[in-house]
Amino acid sequence: MNEQQIRRLLDGVKSESVSVDEAIDSLRDLPFEDLGFAMVDHHRALRQGFPEVIYCAGKTVDQIITIADRIVTRGADLLATRASQEIYNEVAAQLPDAEYHEAARAIVLQKDHTIRGRGRILVVSAGTSDIPVAEEAAITATVMGNEVDKIFDVGVAGIHRLLAHREMLTSASILIVVAGMEGALASVVGGMVARPVIAVPTSVGYGASFGGVAALLGMLTSCASGVTVVNIDNGFGAGYAASLMNRADTP
Amino acid sequence: MNEQQIRRLLDGVKSESVSVDEAIDSLRDLPFEDLGFAMVDHHRALRQGFPEVIYCAGKTVDQIITIADRIVTRGADLLATRASQEIYNEVAAQLPDAEYHEAARAIVLQKDHTIRGRGRILVVSAGTSDIPVAEEAAITATVMGNEVDKIFDVGVAGIHRLLAHREMLTSASILIVVAGMEGALASVVGGMVARPVIAVPTSVGYGASFGGVAALLGMLTSCASGVTVVNIDNGFGAGYAASLMNRADTP
Amino acid sequence: MNEQQIRRLLDGVKSESVSVDEAIDSLRDLPFEDLGFAMVDHHRALRQGFPEVIYCAGKTVDQIITIADRIVTRGADLLATRASQEIYNEVAAQLPDAEYHEAARAIVLQKDHTIRGRGRILVVSAGTSDIPVAEEAAITATVMGNEVDKIFDVGVAGIHRLLAHREMLTSASILIVVAGMEGALASVVGGMVARPVIAVPTSVGYGASFGGVAALLGMLTSCASGVTVVNIDNGFGAGYAASLMNRADTP
Amino acid sequence: MNEQQIRRLLDGVKSESVSVDEAIDSLRDLPFEDLGFAMVDHHRALRQGFPEVIYCAGKTVDQIITIADRIVTRGADLLATRASQEIYNEVAAQLPDAEYHEAARAIVLQKDHTIRGRGRILVVSAGTSDIPVAEEAAITATVMGNEVDKIFDVGVAGIHRLLAHREMLTSASILIVVAGMEGALASVVGGMVARPVIAVPTSVGYGASFGGVAALLGMLTSCASGVTVVNIDNGFGAGYAASLMNRADTP
Amino acid sequence: MNEQQIRRLLDGVKSESVSVDEAIDSLRDLPFEDLGFAMVDHHRALRQGFPEVIYCAGKTVDQIITIADRIVTRGADLLATRASQEIYNEVAAQLPDAEYHEAARAIVLQKDHTIRGRGRILVVSAGTSDIPVAEEAAITATVMGNEVDKIFDVGVAGIHRLLAHREMLTSASILIVVAGMEGALASVVGGMVARPVIAVPTSVGYGASFGGVAALLGMLTSCASGVTVVNIDNGFGAGYAASLMNRADTP
Amino acid sequence: MNEQQIRRLLDGVKSESVSVDEAIDSLRDLPFEDLGFAMVDHHRALRQGFPEVIYCAGKTVDQIITIADRIVTRGADLLATRASQEIYNEVAAQLPDAEYHEAARAIVLQKDHTIRGRGRILVVSAGTSDIPVAEEAAITATVMGNEVDKIFDVGVAGIHRLLAHREMLTSASILIVVAGMEGALASVVGGMVARPVIAVPTSVGYGASFGGVAALLGMLTSCASGVTVVNIDNGFGAGYAASLMNRADTP
Amino acid sequence: MNEQQIRRLLDGVKSESVSVDEAIDSLRDLPFEDLGFAMVDHHRALRQGFPEVIYCAGKTVDQIITIADRIVTRGADLLATRASQEIYNEVAAQLPDAEYHEAARAIVLQKDHTIRGRGRILVVSAGTSDIPVAEEAAITATVMGNEVDKIFDVGVAGIHRLLAHREMLTSASILIVVAGMEGALASVVGGMVARPVIAVPTSVGYGASFGGVAALLGMLTSCASGVTVVNIDNGFGAGYAASLMNRADTP
Amino acid sequence: MNEQQIRRLLDGVKSESVSVDEAIDSLRDLPFEDLGFAMVDHHRALRQGFPEVIYCAGKTVDQIITIADRIVTRGADLLATRASQEIYNEVAAQLPDAEYHEAARAIVLQKDHTIRGRGRILVVSAGTSDIPVAEEAAITATVMGNEVDKIFDVGVAGIHRLLAHREMLTSASILIVVAGMEGALASVVGGMVARPVIAVPTSVGYGASFGGVAALLGMLTSCASGVTVVNIDNGFGAGYAASLMNRADTP
């Protein structure tokens, strides 16, 4: 449609029913949605292999099903985060191929299993309560075409457990460190590797952990260089950013 | 003096110049300062070997010299914290035996060098900017009769440096961990030893360290058991508490 | 097992089937878990008489039972904190010897009743709402081999009630002060004794108590020396730290 | 002037040059400043014996002198708070009778020394750094016609010193408690008396005292009933409020 | 009892079965509870006409009934705050004379209706949601022997409504101003009267009211002198403090 | 009524039964409620076309119905915000003409549909979770006599979608921008137009959005001039302020 | 230049050296800077009569002079805020027509004195320390083509002073209320008028005013509808927003 | 050296002067620094091409020169951040090859100019006050072997300026976005590219920007996926993390 408008204008120039000056005036005010498709194209190209994502929190089941259906219809892979078992049940009634990753609270419908990352992404977490956020990061990176490893049994108060996994830590391409409480794991891991570390504070803890603020501040002020931070409990964001960093087909 | 007042009263009862009822009335309102001496005695007994301490911040040089003079006159050891070189110079003019510990910003006049601690106190810090607080903790513990060791070259972002001192860490009786930024050192050390760890957050850092708040929260929410925390930059408090914990002559 | 790997390597060196250079290369990358056992041994030795602890908040009943079972099977004493009556009921079905301390919300299965502390630990609290945290501290210290006293009826707004217990306060080896609201009890107690005081802020209170922040700040800025602080509501941490401080068999 | 306007209007009604309806219309929009004088009178009456107060912080010396001059000319007593020695020197050049209270950082020119309070006001403070705020409270109450006592050598970490002044505490009409750090003094004093206690947090302290926030929160959440609080460092406000509470000539 | 112990000691001195030195030693350690009775007596005397108060939040119904029963048995008046209808029903089954003030969420059993205040206490509030806190202040002051007036229909956004009550405002002895949101009512009222104003911030509001923090800060920084502040939602504390200020029988 | 009092007074002056001096005295103390009606009149005049508004949160259904009934009886239009479906059902039973705007959670009974705004008000929001607040702003502006447009599908992370609506943005008279998370939409829109922009932060988001604080701070520190801000989630306030700005009949 | 590129393309279409499809492809990726000039034009048009503004804080004198020179050269009016006397002196050496508004800390070089506002803008402030911010708002509105009134002697603690200016308040088109401390003035003014009120919190105050936070929160939670808020001390922003609201030539 | 110790031990085993059991005992306690070299080696390998960095803030000039000298002596490249002109002058006296990057406040002595990044790093910032932080990020990335572009003239309030650089934005490998105030630039850029975006909040701004907190929160809660955040003003950290992400020689 927009393309048709431009085509009509250019046909007018070609047939000289529209002067060049008139055409310039028209183009000067060219509605942005007319240019928009280029960007959309561009975006789509860049996102190849990326699933479309639904953040379920604060959406009704009907809204989720509608969006999920539209995504799958269009042939894209689907990732729905913060999804309860109930939401999955209703989505699965509509989309029987959708799988539920309980630990990650995520619904996945993935057809394209091409590996797009150049190295492995490693998700490290300490406490058992951090696992949902860590799993959300892992499933996100997986669905975005990465090979993902997980170390979920380490914490700085038992540093030898972490050291025992030194090899896996140093061979990862990108590391995601998920930790609540004081969030010190990010600094320790950041000091052990020379690869990008994405730190995810979690809202795990009580009292002075202030719903993740203690971990967040600890990670932001980490004495280890190369550590960057995402929002509290934002496993998806960490998995997404790690995937961008790990892309093999970009510079 | 107070004792004399009571003695006089009791002599009156004994000689029957004071009736029992009158004596009860007097004792009922017994000024607290009269009982106070017991507490004072008790305090003095408990404090044996403890220096009297002047917190110099917010005091005039005159006030500091007056108090210091009174302490030394009474035969007690002297510790003055947060003291600048200028303050020391003026104090030293009056009390030539006083020494200045520049790194700790402390003035010390110690005559009693008896060791009262049952084990060694170890002060651990990471960054060079944490050193003044760490030294304040160390000098406090020293003047209070403890043998003190220091490890000042370790940080969690280079965990191998810390691990290299494992023996010294595990053989200490009490550990003081001084750290700014994210304060993760307390958790790591706390997880390596089975002895009391006193964590001192420092105001070192910028941005989201918020003048020591990040380190404070990190230490309070430490996942290592056995860690207790003092106020930001409170090296003196840590050294004092460690000395109490290390006393050989108390249960 | 790990020891066997090293033994095999050294046997190879001895029998010259492995060159010294090859052995150095192997040792250079010696997996940390191989060194880990020393640390584990060391830890186990230090922890003798210490129960294994389960923090129940945020764990499923199944997880709790599984961990509890493993702990008891291996012969260790068990302490489970933040446990509801419901959790206890299910644990007790599996482990009939487990006892429930309702006031402390703790499950205990203790076989080793050796006293390991050199003095008595005193838990002091003010309001009735602070009692759960105070009891958690007390049961922790008890299970870790200490004799524990409790004073639960004192508050700074009725200072004479506190003074009435002066003797018990001054004869304790380690004091744990549990208080919500403004947390002033820690300063007052800290000024009355010359022993370590561990202050535990509680989330009791409303309005400007901000879930324990007022008490926490009050305790951190206490004008009494020798006071150290743990996280809000962290009765377990206080009991654990007090036990470390009170150990008779360490320097 | 305003009165004249109304008088003119009423004269018009009386002489029937102004109809009642017109007068009602005029009065309906009666400028508020015309009613204002009643309020001013009322205020003046209520304020009898109260000095006019200049808060010097953020004012130029010229502004201060101009206002001071106007106050004194009109016969009122003068109180200028947060005044440096330099400000005083310049004010004294103009108003030679003005006195400087250095400890309170206050300039006072008081001619009316009538006692208007029914009881004595007692100002209690702990640390030497709290003294300027305490003295500001004391001088304010004094200039407003009260007899004021001061206890400046007490702190909760040495509770016996406070108890020694029990009699003075319980005989005061109104108590002002000035404290920095954790501000616990207000709770302890509040629990010892059955009179109004005004708590003044001070910005004294470092680290987690956060410029008086710790003391402020401690005082607001005080477990002692009858304690009310003013702004951090607001000695003047406390002295003013205490004077209002102590007024003999009001119900 | 304690008096008997002292009497026995003094009798021993009188009969010379106890030496003066022995008596001094005994007195030196005179248990504080022995002096305590004076304080208790003193307290009881001061509290005459004051009800005993139970803060119900965080207490079980059984605890409340037990305490209430003990208070009433001893002949004292009873005030129980933060009490639900359910709590009242159970208390009333035990104490049929107890009345429930629904708006104040308070249980009252008052036999002594003597008026002890010298003037009237006025409770002013703005929004309908502030009423429970305002009523709690009013009922507290009433039960403590004061005549109490209430103005509940005023707010600073309609200043004329407040001005309409000018007379009642200026004739009150003590004013309690209850306000949520921005808490500006305290400043406006404080500027209209020359009597003590106790400001009570409420947790009413949303967003940037932060559960009463906006009102609290507004009241603490009020530009009106003579305003003091209590904790957020602390209607009881305001009523209690106002009663202390209004007592006719104290200086 | 009040008018009658003044009339009676003026009649007295006219008939000389009241002297001018007596009348001045009476007027000096003229109760404020007597002047109040002017203000009420004035207010009513200004508010012509403005509905009366009920903020339902924290009110009982009975209170809401009573107030609604009184408003409608008096002939005014009605707007009730933060109203659930349940509340609407009960209101509709009483006021069958009332309509429910589910998305805005608002009850509206509007008879006067006069357009009073000089231009169109545009409500822009980004996420689907911001819609309730945006709709509340829109319905408020509508009921207050404005033509309102809505763009609900734009967000700064897809800037081309926003640019596509450039024309609608630049032709609006007043813009309301509703956004949670980082609230950046206000700055971007503010930079694209030269008309007043009212920014409404929403509590949408998790972690470091802190219930709308991130958006609030972002909007307050917006680098775009001409942006003003209302409270978190305050859609009504934004709609009301926009209506005031858009009034055609005022200067 | 960009126009030339498009012209060249269109000439190619016209001369058929470029096919319509090729042209569409080129236009699809049309660089945004090519469209940019439209927006710039548009912006310039909208800003007619608006001065260019330099925020001097954090800029060097050289930078300020360079920018000021460029602005004046291009014929625009100049407003430089947060400018010290020193900065003015150096600017004036270069631009002798520039005037310094000391109270507003602003440099102004205004040639276009056309009045563009439809009504008057009124700036209201309370304390003398708020005046710089109030004056910055006033000068901004003035230079942007508005008639501006000022009331600087009012505060809510003396409400009658505010009421005395009722007429000026109600006749203003837009009101700017500047206040520090508790910021209550915005609510009171907002309740007295039916026009847009822009509230500017100032960093004036001490203690719990927290550098303007108390005033900011008070203004955001104002119970008066129609109040919007700008950043702390942002007098310029308020003057700018008020000017946008007051524009006569826009809808 | 350490290697020599192990070699000696193994030689002993080989020559049978050391038994296998003795060797195992020695290795069990193998000092960590002996293993450390592996890590050091590994680190050195990974860091090839990375400069050694000195954070100058809080270090004396002597300390800086000593460390700088040691770094250069050992042949490494040098980067010193937060360095004043004075520091540079003294460093340059010692190390004449060192260059000063004034805008970045950085001292650089770089000999190895190998490009190690696979793509270009783009640093984007908005205000002129953000430039020092942006330049610090740029110089860090440059010295670490990357090609770096800079766009310093864009801000979200003038979105067309940003759009004009669309091509440069989308062709970058890694983007660093530096912004103060509300930090919205990160979200807008993050929405325009499909590459990793590192957001750096700056402490630029006043009032509610709270020293960078507003920007920090805005960036953490960014609605654009793929954005990670570093500490306030941490340009170095952003440049370092970007370099890790851009390394060509790692997976």
Tens digit of pLDDT for each residue in E213-222?
Answer: 999 999 999 8
Handedness of CA D69, D75, D76, D79 (dihedral sign): positive
Q: DSSP H helical segments within C144-232, as ranges? A: 159-163, 166-171, 185-192, 213-220
Q: Which chains form contacts with chain B, at 3 or more CB pairs under 8 Å? A: A, C, D, E, H
Which parts of chain H register pLDDT below 50?
A: 1-2, 28-48
Residue H114 lies inside a defined structural domain of this protein: no
**Contact present, H54 and H80 (Cβ < 8 Å):** yes
Phi, psi angle pair for F213, to nearest 5° = -65, -40
Handedness of CA A132, A138, A143, A149 (dihedral sign): negative
**With an 8 Å Cβ cutoff, are C223 and D187 in contact?**
no
Neighboring chain A residues of C36 at a CB cutoff of 8 Å? 160-161, 163-164
Range ranked top by mean pLDDT from A154-168, B61-75, D112-126, E1-15: D112-126
Q: Which of G102, G152, G206, G209 to mutate to test the interface with D (most CBs of D within 10 A)?
A: G206
Residue E16 lies inside a defined structural domain of this protein: yes
pLDDT class of F47 with cuts at 50, 70, 90: very low
Tens digit of pLDDT for each residue in C203-222?
Answer: 988 888 888 899 999 999 98
- CA C26 – CA C20 distance, rounded (Å): 10
Q: Which residue of H has its CA nearest to G233?
A: H207
From the list C136, C139, C114, the residue with the least C-alpha distance to C202 is C136
Closest partner residue to H7 (CB to CB) among C10, C24, C30 is: C24
pLDDT class of B207 with cuts at 50, 70, 90: confident
Domain that holds residue G183: 120-246
Question: Could you tell me the two tokens for A197?
Answer: 């570390």
> What whole-number percentage of chain H has pLDDT above 70?
85
**With an 8 Å Cβ cutoff, are E6 and B14 in contact?**
no
| Coil, strand or helix at E176 | strand
Give the number of C-alpha atoms closer than 13 A to the C-alpha of residue B27, restricted to the C-beta side.
33
Q: Which residue of F has its CA nearest to D16?
A: F14
Q: Which residue of B has its CA nearest to E23?
A: B10
Closest partner residue to H27 (CB to CB) among C6, C11, C28 is: C6
Identify whether residues D68 and D156 lie together within a single domain: no
**With an 8 Å Cβ cutoff, are A245 and H173 in contact?**
no
**Contact present, F94 and F61 (Cβ < 8 Å):** no
Q: Which residue of C has its CA nearest to H35?
A: C28
Identify whether residues G169 and G60 lie together within a single domain: no
Identify whether residues A149 and A225 lie together within a single domain: yes
Identify whether residues A61 and A149 lie together within a single domain: no
Q: Which residue of B has its CA nearest to C197?
A: B241
**With an 8 Å Cβ cutoff, are B160 and H35 in contact?**
yes
Residue E189: burial class (beta carbons within 10 Å; 0-12, 13-18, 19+) = buried
Range ranked top by mean pLDDT from A54-58, C238-242, G40-44: C238-242
Identify whether residues H15 and H45 lie together within a single domain: yes
Q: Do chains F and C touch (3 or more CB pairs under 8 A)?
A: no
pLDDT class of E8 with cuts at 50, 70, 90: confident
Q: Is the pLDDT of residue D44 over 60?
A: no
Q: Which residue of D has its CA nearest to F37?
A: D28
Residue H115 lies inside a defined structural domain of this protein: no
Distance from CA of H162 to the nearest CA of A (A): 15
Identify whether residues F23 and F47 lie together within a single domain: yes
Residue F114 lies inside a defined structural domain of this protein: no
Last residue of a domain, one of F109, F136, F161: F109
CB neighbourhood size of A15 (10 A):
10
Last residue of a domain, one of G42, G76, G109: G109
Q: What is the pLDDT of residue F251?
A: 57
Report how many Cβ contacts below 8 Å link chain B to chain E.
44
Q: What is the pLDDT of residue D38?
A: 28
In this structure, what CATH number is given to the domain that contains residue B187?
3.40.50.1970
Q: Is the pLDDT of residue C2 over 50?
A: no
Identify whether residues C135 and C170 lie together within a single domain: yes
From the list F131, F148, F128, F151, the residue with the least C-alpha distance to F140 is F148
**With an 8 Å Cβ cutoff, are A58 and F128 in contact?**
yes
Identify whether residues D130 and D99 lie together within a single domain: no
Neighboring chain H residues of F154 at a CB cutoff of 8 Å? none
Q: Is the pLDDT of residue B45 over 50?
A: no
Neighboring chain D residues of G204 at a CB cutoff of 8 Å? 58
Q: What is the pLDDT of residue G97?
A: 93
Residue given tokens 């204008």 in the structure block:
A9
- CA C58 – CA C63 distance, rounded (Å): 10
Identify whether residues C40 and C153 lie together within a single domain: no
Q: Which of B46, B228, B240 to mutate to test the interface with C (most CBs of C within 10 A)?
A: B228
pLDDT class of C84 with cuts at 50, 70, 90: very high
Q: Which chains form contacts with chain G, at 3 or more CB pairs under 8 Å? A: A, D, E, F, H
Q: Which residue of H has its CA nearest to G33?
A: H164
Tens digit of pLDDT for each residue in A188-208?
Answer: 898 888 899 999 999 988 888
Residue A225 lies inside a defined structural domain of this protein: yes
Q: Which of B154, B171, B206 to mutate to test the interface with H (most CBs of H within 10 A)?
A: B206
Question: Could you tell me the two tokens for G59?
Answer: 């800029």
Tens digit of pLDDT for each residue in B151-162?
Answer: 987 877 777 778
Per-residue DSSP letter, H96? T
Distance from CA of H30 to the nearest CA of B (A): 10
Q: Do chains B and F touch (3 or more CB pairs under 8 A)?
A: no
Q: What is the pLDDT of residue D157?
A: 75
Distance from CA of E96 to the nearest CA of F (A): 29
Q: Which residue of E has its CA nearest to B41?
A: E28
Q: What is the pLDDT of residue A239?
A: 96
Closest partner residue to D6 (CB to CB) among F14, F24, F38 is: F24
Report how many Cβ contacts below 8 Å link chain C to chain H.
44
Q: What is the pLDDT of residue A197?
A: 96
Q: What is the DSSP string of F124-148?
A: EE-SGGGHHHHHHHHHHHHHTT-EE
Residue C114 lies inside a defined structural domain of this protein: no
Q: For the residues C3-18, what does the mean pLDDT come to?
A: 76
- CA H204 – CA H127 distance, rounded (Å): 9
Q: Is the pLDDT of residue D224 over 90?
A: no
Q: What is the pLDDT of residue E21?
A: 74
Q: Is the pLDDT of residue E209 over 90?
A: no
Q: Which of F33, F213, F230, F236 to mutate to test the interface with E (most CBs of E within 10 A)?
A: F33
Question: Mean pLDDT lowest for which of D118-122, D218-222, E59-63?
Answer: E59-63
Per CB distance under 8 Å, which residues of G are interface residues toward D?
Answer: 128-129, 160-161, 163-164, 166-167, 204, 206-209
- Residue B121 bridge partners (DSSP): B148, B174
Q: Which residue of H has its CA nearest to B182?
A: H231
Neighboring chain H residues of B167 at a CB cutoff of 8 Å? 31
Which parts of chain G register pLDDT below 70?
A: 1-6, 24-50, 249-251
Q: For the residues B7-31, what does the mean pLDDT come to?
A: 70
Residue A173 lies inside a defined structural domain of this protein: yes
**With an 8 Å Cβ cutoff, are F207 and H219 in contact?**
no
Identify whether residues A100 and A77 lie together within a single domain: yes
Residue G110: burial class (beta carbons within 10 Å; 0-12, 13-18, 19+) = middle
Residue C73 lies inside a defined structural domain of this protein: yes
Identify whether residues C236 and C173 lie together within a single domain: yes
pLDDT class of A57 with cuts at 50, 70, 90: confident
From the list B174, B182, B187, B191, the residue with the least C-alpha distance to B217 is B182
Tens digit of pLDDT for each residue in A152-188?
Answer: 878 777 777 788 788 889 899 999 999 988 788 999 8
Closest partner residue to B208 (CB to CB) among H39, H63, H232 is: H232
pLDDT class of B26 with cuts at 50, 70, 90: low
Report how many Cβ contacts below 8 Å link chain B to chain H.
40
- Count how many domains chain G has: 2
Q: Is the pLDDT of residue D143 over 70?
A: yes
Q: Do chains E and A touch (3 or more CB pairs under 8 A)?
A: no
Q: For the residues C114-131, what does the mean pLDDT come to?
A: 89
Task: Return the higher-pLDDT residue of D15 and B142.
Answer: B142
Neighboring chain E residues of B14 at a CB cutoff of 8 Å? 13-14, 16, 20
Identify whether residues F71 and F10 lie together within a single domain: yes
Residue given tokens 């018009």 in the structure block:
D12
Neighboring chain D residues of E220 at a CB cutoff of 8 Å? 216, 229-232
Question: Could you tell me the two tokens for A238?
Answer: 């960490």
Last residue of a domain, one of B75, B109, B143: B109
Question: Mean pLDDT lowest for which of B203-212, C240-249, H16-25?
Answer: H16-25
Report how many Cβ contacts below 8 Å link chain D to chain E.
91
